[in-house]
Structure 1
Amino acid sequence: MTVTDSLPASGTFACRACGRPDPPLVLDLGEVPASDQFPRADEPGPDPTWPLTLHMCPSCLLVQLGPGRGAFPEPQLAVDSATALQHARTSVTEVLAAEGIGPGATVIELDSSHGASWLPRFLEAGLLEAPPDGRADLVVDVHHLMHGEDPNPVLAAHAARVAPGGRFVCEFFHVLPVVEQTLIDTIRHGHFVYLSVLAARPLLARHGLTVTRVQLVDVYGGSVRLTAARADEAPVVDPGVEEVLARERAAGLDRLETLEALGARGARAAREFRSHLELLRGEGRRVAGYGAPSKAPVLLALSGVGAGLLPYTVDLSPAKGGRRVPGAGVPIRSVQYLVDDRPEDVIVLTWDIVDEVAAQLARMSAGSGWQPRLWAPLPEPRELSLP
């Protein structure tokens, strides 16, 4: 693995959005392996770890990773889930309708390594792709912004791409469900900012963009699809923006203590996950995992779960076969291996697409007599059934 040197934990650390010195520490998750690096199963360990801390700026309310960074990200190993592909189709339809954009308009998309690009759907709808260094009627950022250590140059480039009368659409993880549902495994190296609309609005305003529309979407555990327009055009702002801002304030996203409380709840969720696996082992039940998402190394590290409690997990991505979850040492196998092995309990680590997983396993096990119990570890360990 190629890594960079981490910055020292002490010393001046400036807010990634507004530059305020030393935004307060609100959450310390300790030493955690890189979430997007899955070593070969036979690669000697131990796997490297890096500090994973969360800070909140009291000036601009941005929740963000602390100083330093872990490993450089590896090439994308995941495959697009059916849930993500359907979300792309739905998002494109809704964006075009809401913004009144039709065939012949130009589009620039910058998406993240999560996959499920929206661009093919825009082109199917008759939009024309513009070069990334040009200008377009619609500029789209699909979970790309959070991967920049400094969001300001990313947004400055986006703002420059928006043609007169154009729109900027950005989808990102929403910190609200992270707080409300204790989605502790969403926090990971490589995702440098955790946005609320409270924090996104002044950040976009700094680059001449006004938030005009906000839509909460149920993807990746909870995200926001935000639309902005050029501020110098005095755009109309949808009333739904204030409704989401009010909900965020009611949840305490404008207060440091709200994020500080997340740590205690996250530690409890990790303990409950481990205790659940220990209970299954004590009952003599055979257990396996489903999925090797980027959130898995965080959850397993915080829970202290290794191959002793979770002998293996499986993943649809052929590129992850023969690898292991970093830190935990849990080997990754094919989904067919799971069906052939027929464990009694399956822990769905890709809990954000648990309905899709349940449907897939139901199809693959049809007529075999295998009826495993499915468990989702978050927001709390809960049992599910095959459809």
Structure 2
Amino acid sequence: MTAAGSSTTTDPAGTPSTEAGSQTLTCRLCGSTDLRSFLDLGATPPCELFLTAETAEQREDTFPLHVRVCNACLLAQLPALITPEDTFEEYAYFSSFSTSWVEHAKRFVDGAVERAGLGPDSFVVEVASNDGYLLQHVVERDIRCLGVEPSVNVGEAAREKGVPTLTAFLSPETGEKVRAEHGPANLVCLNNVYAHIPDVVGFTQGLRAMVADDGWVSIEIQHLLTLVERSQFDTIYHEHFQYYTLLTGQRALASGGLTLVDVELLDTHGGSIRMWARPSEIAGEPSAKVAEVLAAESAAGLDTPEGHDGFAEAVSTIRDDLMSFLIEARRQGKRVVGYGAPGKGNTLLNYCGIRPDLLEYTVDRNPYKHGRLTPGTRIPIHEPDRIAADKPDYVLILPWNLRTELTEQLSYVRDWGGKLVFPIPSLEVV
């Protein structure tokens, strides 16, 4: 952020620029300055900057959380008020703590081996490979692979699993370096990272630099269509710089020399798309499924700027219902605790203004978060065993996208008459 009265130039990645106190926002995909408001969630701290006992007494920086849509290319985006380096050089999220996510990754590898014809002579690269949750399945098949992961701590966890990992952010230069040192990749895959990079064009060029001229690129991202239809506003946070429809994903891929050829609809993260792309020179015509999903987006109005309007009202209803429930529970003397401390949970907690007087604490399987406090709302994070010891009346599920997995894990809550609370897509007590 720039100081009041300072003068800077406009960053093509969508960073605010100030000239004599005014602010200009630029679309990071097409360069247009014609953007419209999509959803304004106020100002919050970065969602993964959990507080320790020492930092809890220090100043906490907050940044606007205001998504806009480009009237020209339709990309929904946040200004790059924080950098990837701020978030990812040491990261609090370890993918392997979600059993269902690891299983999802294994199914992907099984399918990708068949689609791309992978074998002993193949080479696979995963970008943002985290702790090796996916590439471990490639290693098991004796297929050569490499993870490109910027976070030192989770990358080290991957190497301990036997997954070769390069500590780096992807850029065109990184992509060229990987290709020069390891050869072209038959498959480049990335899950839930295409939203995390402010330089969309440069990142996509990095993908093209790594993939073989007849290779495949697989990109899994949350689908803006389901985000809107199911009111999943809590997946909006500062490290997610953009929110894709298939239409805008197709345009982003083209900016780096890749062409969309197929798409899969997935249940992960409340509703995702997996885009399959190939180098534009050999891509051919897209599948019928691509046309089908584009038609669904058009029917919802997401192929026009005006079709993105009205989301804020649905989000306000979710906040009002959750706050009414928590306030009434407190009045009745009921104990309410949380399960999970995901980034999406911190968007929900901060937007709603939930503090420890309404949510006593939350728990998480990740030891990194134990003993810390949630950013902004200062809710303590404990080990999962704390729930069984305290026997609260209600458990608020913050990673609602893992509903099936967590309902099974928390089945013991019913032993003392406790109930689970799911806030999204609408308040449900079960």
Give the TM-score taking structure 1 as reference length. 0.91
* Residue 278 (structure 1) shift: 1.3
AA aligned to 2:91 is Q
Q: Tell me, yes or no, if structure 1 residue 92 matches structure 2 residue 141.
A: no
Count matched residues: 378
Give the conservation status (yes or no) of the 8 Å contact 2:394–2:420.
yes
User: Could you say which residue in structure 2 is the equivalent of 1:102?
Assistant: 119
Gapped runs of 5+ residues in structure 2? 4-14, 147-165, 167-174
CA distance in 2, matches of 1:7, 1:236: 38
* Residue 116 (structure 1) shift: 6.2
For residue 33 of structure 2, the aligned residue among 12, 16, 21 is: 21
CA distance in 1, matches of 2:388, 2:343: 23
User: Could you say which residue in structure 1 is the equivalent of 2:128?
Assistant: 111
Point out which structure has higher relative CO (alpha carbons under 8 A, 6+ apart).
Answer: 1
User: Could you say which residue in structure 2 is the equivalent of 1:73?
Assistant: 87
Moved more, 369-378 or 122-131: 122-131
* Residue 12 (structure 1) shift: 2.5
CA distance in 1, matches of 2:378, 2:111: 42
User: Could you say which residue in structure 1 is the equivalent of 2:140?
Assistant: 124
* Equivalences for residues 164-313 of structure 1 within 5 A: 164-313=213-362
Q: Tell me, yes or no, if structure 1 residue 347 matches structure 2 residue 425.
A: no
Q: Tell me, yes or no, if structure 1 residue 335 matches structure 2 residue 351.
A: no
Gapped runs of 5+ residues in structure 1? none
User: Could you say which residue in structure 2 is the equivalent of 1:49?
Assistant: 62
CA distance in 1, matches of 2:350, 2:139: 41
CA distance in 1, matches of 2:351, 2:2: 23
Cα 1:31/1:168, change in 2 over 3 Å: same
CA distance in 1, matches of 2:379, 2:369: 12
Give the conservation status (yes or no) of the 8 Å contact 1:33–1:327.
yes
* Residue 144 (structure 1) shift: 2.0
Deviation by residue 1:315-371 (Cα, 9 ceiling, x = unmatched):
111111111111111111111111101101110111111221222223xx49x9434
Give the conservation status (yes or no) of the 8 Å contact 2:190–2:220.
yes
Secondary structure of the 1:375 match is strand
CA distance in 2, matches of 1:195, 1:116: 25
CA distance in 2, matches of 1:100, 1:186: 34
CA distance in 2, matches of 1:117, 1:232: 32
CA distance in 1, matches of 2:329, 2:132: 35
Deviation by residue 1:175-214 (Cα, 9 ceiling, x = unmatched):
1111101111010011101111100112212222111110
CA distance in 1, matches of 2:47, 2:134: 24
CA distance in 2, matches of 1:82, 1:383: 24
CA distance in 1, matches of 2:59, 2:256: 44
Give the conservation status (yes or no) of the 8 Å contact 2:261–2:283.
no
Q: Tell me, yes or no, if structure 1 residue 370 matches structure 2 residue 416.
A: yes
CA distance in 2, matches of 1:116, 1:283: 46
Q: Tell me, yes or no, if structure 1 residue 60 matches structure 2 residue 68.
A: no
* Residue 68 (structure 1) shift: 2.5
User: Could you say which residue in structure 2 is the equivalent of 1:326?
Assistant: 375
User: Could you say which residue in structure 1 is the equivalent of 2:47?
Assistant: 35
The alignment-based identity, stated in percent, is 33
User: Could you say which residue in structure 1 is the equivalent of 2:202?
Assistant: 153
CA distance in 1, matches of 2:404, 2:264: 22
Q: Tell me, yes or no, if structure 1 residue 379 matches structure 2 residue 425.
A: yes
Moved more, 240-249 or 34-43: 34-43
Deviation by residue 1:205-264 (Cα, 9 ceiling, x = unmatched):
222211111011111222111110111114242211111111111112122333331112
AA aligned to 2:426 is E
* Residue 141 (structure 1) shift: 1.7
- Taking only aligned residues, the RMSD between alpha carbons, in angstroms, comes to 2.3
AA aligned to 2:86 is F
